[in-house]
Amino acid sequence: MSYNNLILEQNNGIATITINRPSKLNALNKETIQELHNAFASCDEDAATQVIIITGSGEKAFVAGADISEFANFDIEQGGQLAAKGQELLFDFIENLGTPVIAAVNGFALGGGLELAMSCHFRVASDTAKMGLPEVSLGVIPGYGGTQRLPQLIGKGRAMEMIMTAGMIDANQAMRYGLVNHVQNQDDLIPFCEKIAIKIMRNSSVAISASIRAINAGFEDGVNGYEAEVNEFGSCFGTEDFKEGTTAFLEKRKADFPGK
């Protein structure tokens, strides 16, 4: 598959997706959102890909938001559709992907850019990164899940303040808030994410996917997360990975999981 706005590299179980529109600070236009959906879907289907890292090209931006030039003339219906389609195609899709996704936030992550990072399973930032949801400065609100995921990640009061002020926080403040898990200098960002990916790949990919489903269940309306956990836990007992993991432990050797 070829992409106009992305670079997809696959090495030793790790797929790195780089959003590549540096002249527009990697802003998410319609085509890029569709291409990201296709790239995530193909990596998820690919048995050899165990972890996905997403980042932005250039040193300045992860993603500076949704492409403002594309929606500036939209009416009410088109605005609603923009949010609904984007959430379904990309943001909810990534959150519920069975393959772990790490956001390597290498610069500005604003609006749809921060929403993209927040839909990933966790985030690592460069010390140059700046994050914010500036939508109210444009007369609109975050529409790709930002009003939901930001309070989940950093708490309601902090999210209210960030959204109302349209302000940006730097990487260290993002770490204090729990929005990113680690801060690295720019050159070390991708190697550091790869080191985490290697740790993840030592474990059962089947159990990791089940963990993602159970964790996400707790944030779903009308779903009992504890019940989802019981069901996922039970299902693990029927997998080859469970046999291998427990047998390896009892035989005092490292587990050799077959992958997905």
Q: Which are the catalytic amino acids?
A: 115, 135
Distances (CA, A) of 133 to 54, 94, 141, 240: 19, 19, 8, 44
Burial of 184 (0-12, 13-18, 19+ CB in 10 A): buried
The least CB distance from residue 25 to ligand COA, in Å, is 4
Nearest approach, Cβ of 132 to ligand COA (angstroms)? Answer: 8
CA distance 188 to 211: 28
> Which is nearer to ligand COA, 6 or 66 (by Cβ)?
66
Nearer to ligand COA, 65 or 145 (CB): 65
Name the DSSP class of 91: I
Applying CB under 6 A, which residues contact ligand COA?
A: 24-25, 27, 64-69, 108, 110-112, 134-135, 138
Please check whether residue 203 is in contact with residue 158, taking contact to mean a CB–CB distance below 8 angstroms. Answer: no
Question: At closest approach, how far in Å is the CB of 19 from ligand COA?
Answer: 12
Least distance from ligand COA to the Cβ atom of residue 89, Å: 17
Q: How far apart are the first and last CA of the chain?
A: 21
Tabulate helix, strand, coil % of the chain (nearest 5).
50, 15, 30
Name beta bridge partners: 16.
9, 53
User: Pairing state of beta strands 101-105 and 61-63?
Assistant: unpaired
Min. distance of Cβ 160 from ligand COA in angstroms?
A: 18
What does the alpha-carbon distance between residue 152 and residue 178 come to, in Å, rounded to a whole number?
10
Q: Which of 139/234 has CB closer to ligand COA?
A: 139
